[in-house]
Amino acid sequence: MITFNYETEFALKEEKSSEIWIEKVATKKGFEVGEINYIFCDDAYLHKLNVEFLQHDTLTDIISFDNSLGKLLNGDIFISVERVGDNAKDFKVSFEEELHRVMIHGVLHYMGLKDKTDDEKLAMRNAENEALLILTN
């Protein structure tokens, strides 16, 4: 089950279609969705978590806490909608496209993808793009 929670004025436009999309991506990669909680927040909220739990004193667009068990995906994904908006402008894409990229990014981490090295970042970007194609089809 996927739940969407809001710590800001933002609200996802189509929760059900997002849930179906995420489940399709998971299934296609051989995983099952357990309990995934999305928490949409602002920069200050996410910065506080970043400092408290990861000891990173920086702004970020997403923090995911992975509680997956084998092929069963579970966890909490915190997303700063402020950061997503700024990144969308920087990358010259729509807010919705960047939001979906970030949303699936957290789930891909649960599936074992990393993004520390250049090769890992390329693999993550390719997986994000593949997932975005599923969304648009």
On whether the CB atoms of residues 59 and 49 are closer than 8 A, the answer is no
- Confirm whether residue 100 is marked as ligand binding: no
Task: Give bridge partners of residue 41 from the DSSP assignment.
Answer: 80
- Confirm whether residue 115 is marked as ligand binding: yes
Give the distance, in angstroms, between the CA of residue 20 and the centroid of all CA atoms in the same chain. Answer: 15
- Confirm whether residue 47 is marked as ligand binding: no
The C-alpha angle with vertex 77 and arms to 18 and 65, in degrees rounded to 5, equals 145
Q: Which residues are annotated as a binding site?
A: 105, 109, 115
Q: Which residues are annotated as a binding site for Zn(2+)?
A: 105, 109, 115
